Amino acid sequence: MNLLLLTPDDLVTPDRACIHDSRRLRHFHEIHKASPGEELTVGMTGEGIGRARLIELEKERALFEILHLDTPPPPALPVHLLLALPRPRMLARSLENIATMGVKRLTLLHTARVEKSYWQSPELQPERIEAHLRLGLEQARDTVLPVVDLQPRFKPFIEDQLPAALTGHRALLAHPGIGESCPRGLPMDQPVTLAIGPEGGFIPYEVERLQTMGFEGIHLGPRILRVETAVVSLLSRLF
């Protein structure tokens, strides 16, 4: 935890916050080994980053004095990520990585090689998704939660919703063996929509449909990567 990410519910007064949840308390007791009087980096969800002083640390609560929150969060990546829904265990890691990298718009998409049972996973509950995103933000010292939407039907999404979302965007389709090598260092003022398939890749029909809509094929070479590795590798090269 490189940042104590607070929510408005944590505030007891405008300049004091109290946390009660076991995850954050366990970190301060077991990892940080904090003591009253110490200062630490904090952020308010959706707002600024600053410093706070630990006033009390007990088994079931920690009380902080917020000193200031005057530093803006790091800039977001100008990308809308379309990600074929990963396996539940991989989804958790992917969400954390996506938040850490600075993605602020994520669509989890059904494709032919995504098992339908994945859509029944408890990991897709809003509170579970937010919990993983918060872990990623804490790692990166960020405060702005990504917006996540679920699209369990491929064809209606790309026909009815995606065209409008592509307006003004450069559309890139990451798929082994097609197109050019992944570009590097794209300008931060150019919005991008990046589509990443499951580990088995998109099926030919899906590739054709996306390319018809203007997606440029890109790849990372001959190796087939796990989804969470591909996400980080692509975002790191693109931006």
Q: Which whole number is the average pLDDT over 108-120?
A: 96
Confidence at 1, pLDDT banded by 50, 70, 90: confident
Q: pTM of the prediction?
A: 0.93
Residue 28 to residue 18: CA distance in whole angstroms:
13
% of the chain surpassing 90 pLDDT:
89
Could you give the 3-state DSSP secondary structure of residue 48?
A: coil
Q: What is the structure's pLDDT at 225?
A: 87
Q: What is the structure's pLDDT at 75?
A: 96
Structure tokens at 190: 């150019």
pLDDT for residue 177 is more than 90: no
Residue 31 to residue 146: CA distance in whole angstroms:
27
Instruction: Identify any residues that bridge with 17 across adjacent strands, giving them in sequence order.
Output: 11, 64
pLDDT for residue 49 is more than 90: yes
